[in-house]
Homo-oligomer: A and B are copies of this chain.
């Protein structure tokens, strides 16, 4: 079994709301940061992909369950785990952890589109290989 990619981040004032906890919409930002770092770790920069391959990823569907609140100064660990990779889209499971507590769970579907037309495009082979097939 492989270990999913992990990204560490800190909770700042900007992330919280008047309930004293992290504003729930921000978990989508945390999940995004982790996916970006995961891509970078595998050797892909999104700006470079846009320029050279003329593809970009767009978020098509997000599902998030909020289990426990995070607070100011907390350190969170965000995991990235590809569940399924199709021709033009990927389903990614993500979890926000504080220590061994699951704070939020997400399922994010991202689609691969052409930079100009925004039409769905097949995920380039080297990208798919680098992200999904390579041993982690």
Q: Could you tell me which A residues sit within 8 Å of B by CB distance?
A: 10, 12-14, 16-21, 23-26, 28-29, 32-33, 36-37, 40, 45-47, 56, 58-66, 69, 71-73, 118
Q: Which of B18, B32, B71 contacts A21 (CB 8 A)?
A: B18
Given the interface pairs A58-B19, A64-B61, the reply to whether A36 lies near B24 with Cβ below 8 Å is no
Q: Name which of A20, A24, A65 has the most chain B CB atoms within 10 A of its CB.
A: A24
Residues of B within 8 Å of A29, CB to CB, are 12, 14, 25
Residues of B within 8 Å of A19, CB to CB, are 13, 18, 56, 58
Residues of B within 8 Å of A65, CB to CB, are 60-61
